[in-house]
Amino acid sequence: MSVHRDSQLDMFAKASPVIAKVRAPSRGRPSQSGTHSDEDMARTLEESGNYRILRKLIARPIAPVRRPEFSRLGVILDTETTGLSHRSDEIIEIGAVAFTFDDDGAIGDVVGIYGGLQQPSRPIPPEITRLTGITDAMVEGQVIDLRSLSALIEPADLIIAHNAGFDRPFCEAFSTMFAGKAWACSVSEIDWSARGFEGTKLGYLVGQAGYFHEGHRAVDDCHALLEILDREQRQGESPFAELYRASQRSRIRIFAEHSPFEMKDHLKARGYRWSDGSDGRLKSWWIEVGEDDLGDELSYLRSEIYRWKEAEPPTVRLTAFDRFKS
């Protein structure tokens, strides 16, 4: 979730009206003026209608006791890497925040945190240092503690990443502890636009939720995502509850194998992606749809692409255990 993200500063570059950053509420303590607390002043600015206030996002501490009503375990995970390819690039940092939740998707408490750096086999590219702030000097001699990380990952019912299609292949190439785990993607499996958000990048979500945080370090981003996922919604369902429901549904990957070459632009316009076969998939255009949309998609292929009603494009049913793999 690192190199494919724009700078978190971009979201503030052309903000209007003025955005003021304040620290977390001071719980009624007066400021140095002795008359108003920080929160009082922030509220006054907000109520004027001329300012938007971003409050510093404070990470949740580890709960001393695990409450039995939250019986499930989730792990929010983030990686920083030397590049975009899980086949040739390497993880240089992993952050993980473990939290409890119940069967309805209500989040309980943070029960574990891990953050670790790893020295790669080659120097970190300058553009990666610019994006992440991680230097060769920082990772020199550093090794991710697999035992500590495994203590969070092994018992997890669900691993959440903000772009799981990026993080999961890197993690599975890094360690077998990630094999066979259920994954969810907080980018693609939550309808953020329906919740009033203008984008899906973590910086946008954090800013529009009224916070700011120290971005681009793995653990900090995990803490930030947890707060956004647990954000109360007027419709009564948190983003995490929506994500958890989505993770329990199967999706169908349809391969438009042997589709006519001249129909490629039509497939692309409909959202199909090209697979050249190098990753073990069929060499063809493909798309993923929900189970409820399978019939309509097959009808489209038969009538508009193959123009043969008996056509049977190959399909693969995917669950959270195999979605977002390479």
Q: Which of 248, 272, 293 is the last residue of a domain?
A: 248
- Whether residue 241 is predicted with pLDDT greater than 80 in this model: the reply is yes
261 vs 235, higher pLDDT: 261
pLDDT of residue 232: 75
Is pLDDT of 3 > 80? Answer: no
Q: What percentage of residues in the chain have a pLDDT greater than 90?
A: 79
Domain for residue 5, yes or no?
Answer: no
The reply to whether 294 and 272 lie within a common domain is yes
277-307 residue pLDDT tens: 887 789 999 999 999 999 999 999 999 999 9
Answer yes or no: are the C-beta atoms of 247 and 234 closer than 8 Å: no
pLDDT at 60 over 50: yes
Residue 217 confidence (pLDDT): 84
Among 248, 275, 308, which residue terminates a domain? 248
Same domain, 101 and 177: yes
Q: Mean pLDDT over residues 141-166, rounded?
A: 98
Q: Which domain holds residue 296?
A: 251-318
79-97 pLDDT, tens digit per residue, is 999 999 999 999 999 999 9
The residue among 71 and 326 whose pLDDT is bigger is 71
Q: What is the pLDDT of residue 214?
A: 76
289 falls within a domain: yes
Tokens of 124: 């970190």
Residue 8: inside a domain: no
Span 155-183, average pLDDT: 97
220 within domain boundaries: yes
Q: How far apart are the first and last CA of the chain?
A: 15
pLDDT at 273: 95
In this structure, of 38-42, 137-141, 312-316, the range with the lowest mean pLDDT score is: 38-42
User: CA–CA separation, 39 vs 29, rounded Å?
Assistant: 9
Residue 143, pLDDT score: 98
Alpha carbons 236 and 193: distance in angstroms, whole number = 16
Q: What is the pLDDT of residue 216?
A: 67
For residues 107 and 239, membership in a common domain is answered with: yes
Query: Which tokens sit at 81?
Result: 């890497």
Rounded mean pLDDT of 130-138? 95
- Show which of 248, 266, 283 is a domain's final residue: 248
214-234 per-position pLDDT tens digit: 766 899 999 999 999 998 765
Residues 103 and 223 in one domain: yes
CATH of the domain at 135: 3.30.420.10
pTM: 0.83
Section 232-251 average pLDDT: 88
Asked whether 173 and 311 are in contact (CB, 8 A), the reply is no
- For residue 149, tell me if it sits in a domain: yes
Q: Count of domains in the chain?
A: 2
Within this chain, do residues 244 and 106 fall inside the same structural domain, yes or no?
yes
Residue 295 shares a structural domain with residue 195: no
pLDDT over threshold 60, residue 2: no
- Main-chain dihedrals φ then ψ at residue 153, nearest 5 degrees: -75, -45
pLDDT at 233: 61
Examine the pLDDT at 276 and tell me if it is beyond 70: yes
- Residue 32: per-residue pLDDT: 53
Task: Assess whether 159 and 293 both reside in one domain.
Answer: no
Mean confidence (pLDDT) of the chain? 89
The fraction of the chain above a pLDDT of 70, given in percent, is: 88
Residue 145 within any structural domain of the chain: yes
Preceding omega of 17 cis (within 30 degrees of 0): yes
Residue 235's pLDDT band (boundaries 50, 70, 90)? low
**Do residues 140 and 195 share a domain?**
yes
Residues 222 and 175 occupy one common structural domain: yes
Chain centroid to CA 72: how far?
Answer: 19
User: Over 80: is that where the pLDDT of 1 sits?
Assistant: no
Q: Are residues 90 and 192 in the same domain?
A: yes
**Do 213 and 260 fall within a single domain?**
no
Residue 175 shares a structural domain with residue 222: yes
Higher pLDDT, 24 or 207: 207
Closest CA to 270 of 258, 286, 281: 286
Residue 262 lies in a domain: yes
Q: Please check whether residue 326 lies inside any domain of the structure.
A: no
In the three-class reduction of DSSP (H, G, I as helix; E, B as strand; rest coil), residue 137 is classed as helix
pLDDT at 9 over 80: no
